[in-house]
Homo-oligomer: A and B are copies of this chain.
Amino acid sequence: MSQLLSLRDRKRTETWAALHNAAARLTLENGPDRVTTEAIAAQANVSARTFFNYFSTKEDAILGLQDPSIDDTWLEAFDVDANLLDQVSRLLVNVVHSTEGGADGDSLRMEVVQRFPQLRQRRFGYFLKVEQLVRDVVTEGITASAKWVDVAQHHRAEDISRMIVLIAGAPMRYAMQESAHAPTLDNQFAALSTANALLREVLPEIQ
């Protein structure tokens, strides 16, 4: 049998997906304002209270957003002393992905974001949490690194990593703004890699 997840974890995932699907489906049918958290919970066959055990707001459920997290594998592979920009970029992409749970294939998220732009700001809100998380990782790396002792004498590690994450995150912000107009998954990838290229070209010019 598939014993990768415990029964508990499997059910938790199922309930999460059921709530997100119900929320997204009902929203597509009636618009986000005509959907109540009660109706969503009923569709997912759980109590109204349980809804808020999984999502802190109705919008989070509609969009299927979770708090960001970093896989241990990524943490171990992270090395501040080489290719920092690349690494932080990839970390950001990965952590953003962690905020959008479940299988993307059958998720109704895309359609929802496209049809109800009011919901978009919520994703930016989550990007702040993502940055915070990544910043912590970078801060820790810098603090422990010999390569950064010089810079760290003039600035606090927190500030250094804030700046690094801001730069590395610029392409994602750029892509997110773009994706307002082109919300398919392919288009988002395209926007991101365009933005990445742009960053590489701009960086050498401004120093």
A47 at the interface (CB under 8 A from B): yes
Nearest chain B CB to A43 CB, angstrom units: 12
How far, in whole Å, are A165 and B47 apart by their CA atoms in the complex? 44
Q: Number of A interface residues, CB 8 Å?
A: 5
User: Chain A 88-111, CB within 8 Å of chain B: the 1/0 string?
Assistant: 000000000000000000000000
A7 at the interface (CB under 8 A from B): yes
Nearest CB to that of A14 among chain B residues? B45
User: Chain A 44-64, CB within 8 Å of chain B: the 1/0 string?
Assistant: 001100000000000000000
Nearest CB to that of A47 among chain B residues? B7
How far, in whole Å, are A11 and B42 apart by their CA atoms in the complex? 13
Residues of chain B lying within 8 A (CB to CB) of residue A42: 1
Interface residues of A in 100-136 (CB under 8 A from B): none
Interface residues of A in 1-51 (CB under 8 A from B): 1, 7, 42, 46-47
Nearest CB to that of A41 among chain B residues? B7
Nearest chain B CB to A200 CB, angstrom units: 51
Nearest chain B CB to A37 CB, angstrom units: 15
Nearest chain B CB to A185 CB, angstrom units: 32
Residues of chain B lying within 8 A (CB to CB) of residue A47: 7
Nearest CB to that of A7 among chain B residues? B47
Nearest CB to that of A48 among chain B residues? B7
Nearest CB to that of A6 among chain B residues? B47
How far, in whole Å, are A42 and B7 apart by their CA atoms in the complex? 10
Residues of chain B lying within 8 A (CB to CB) of residue A1: 42
How far, in whole Å, are A7 and B46 apart by their CA atoms in the complex? 8
Nearest chain B CB to A132 CB, angstrom units: 37
How far, in whole Å, are A80 and B42 apart by their CA atoms in the complex? 47
Nearest chain B CB to A117 CB, angstrom units: 33
3 A/B residue pairs, CB under 8 Å, sorted by A: A1-B42, A7-B46, A7-B47
